[in-house]
Amino acid sequence: MELQIDGFILYLATERGLSTAYQLSVRQSLEKFLAWADQHGHRNWCDLGTDDLSAFLGHLRKSGLNASSLRITVVHLKIFFRFLVARGHLEADPADPLLSPKTASKLPETLNTQAITRLLESIDFSKRLGPRDLALLEMFYASGLRLSEICGARLEHLDLDDRFLRVTGKGNKTRLVPIGKRALDALQRYLSHERPSLVTAQTSSHLFLSVRGGPLSPDRVRQIVKERAKQAGLKENIYPHLLRHSFATHLLENGADLRVIQELLGHADIGTTQIYTHVDQKRLKAVHQKFHPRG
């Protein structure tokens, strides 16, 4: 059974080209299921039926796994058993009848434009690391980048003349993201006046560098964002993805087309982007209730 899991992970990597993080997530789900199956006396995938898979999911639910994580587990089971059937290891697919649990729609948190302005304008670029941190935060908000995309950005991906950055997002998909004027100014200041002082003999071409000349780690970027937010006097829990959410929400509020926002964010499915319409609808409802005589 372990060998078939290994074969499936190899298939995801070589034939599907899926990311290492996704492979790890799938492996964790399947190994957890394998441990449960072993405890219940199942020694072969052929021994397992739909009732067994449902019992496993029920076990996860009782152990406190939330609906969102359960949905992911169901997807992993479905694609794995579909693979086993396709490769002739099973005649019937026991995971096919499984239904994904419904999840409550959780709206993304955002910052208003006043808070964004306060955060960015509080950074003194005349002080050490000020140019770097300002460029970093400006890029999060101006381009809606993911944390991994910021950390992975390199000099050769940057086109300052046309104001674009080429990034590699989820599923190793590449896209071009525009750089706003203020973000461009901050980047040019950082590249001209501070990045050269951070470079060492071992420095790579990563765009954002630490004080030791290496690329900034995701944990360090999270720390920088929180430190800068605290210095700006913001009481909200500020984290990198919050700036990405704010980027998308503010575009929508100012009339951007949802398909354009989808492209900018690098979402494969428009359904992922549509959550921002709920944020905008919530804002419109609040405005209506506040200002309409019969609101």
Instruction: Name the catalytic one among 76, 132, 146, 195.
Output: 146
Catalytic residue list contains 106? no
Catalytic residue list contains 43? no
Q: Which amino acid is at 58?
A: G
Instruction: Name the catalytic one among 82, 154, 170, 189.
Output: 170
Q: Do domains 2-86 and 113-238 have the same CATH topology?
A: no
Q: Tell me what pLDDT residue 270 has.
A: 79
CATH of the domain spanning 113-238: 1.10.443.10
* Concatenated DSSP letters of 243-293: HHHHHHHHHHHTT--HHHHHHHHT-SSHHHHTHHHHHHHHHHHHHHHHHST
Catalytic residue list contains 241? yes
**The model's pTM:** 0.62
Catalytic residue list contains 170? yes
3-state secondary structure of 137: helix
Domain ranges within the chain, ordered by starting residue? 2-86, 113-238
Q: Which residues of the chain have pLDDT under 50?
A: none
The domain defined by 2-86 carries CATH number 1.10.150: yes
Q: Tell me what pLDDT residue 105 has.
A: 56
Catalytic residue list contains 276? yes
Q: Which residue carries 């999840």 as its tokens?
A: 103
* Concatenated DSSP letters of 209-224: B-TTSSBPPHHHHHHH
Q: Tell me what pLDDT residue 104 has.
A: 55
Helix (H) or strand (E) holding 97: none
Catalytic residue list contains 244? yes
Q: Tell me what pLDDT residue 142 has.
A: 92
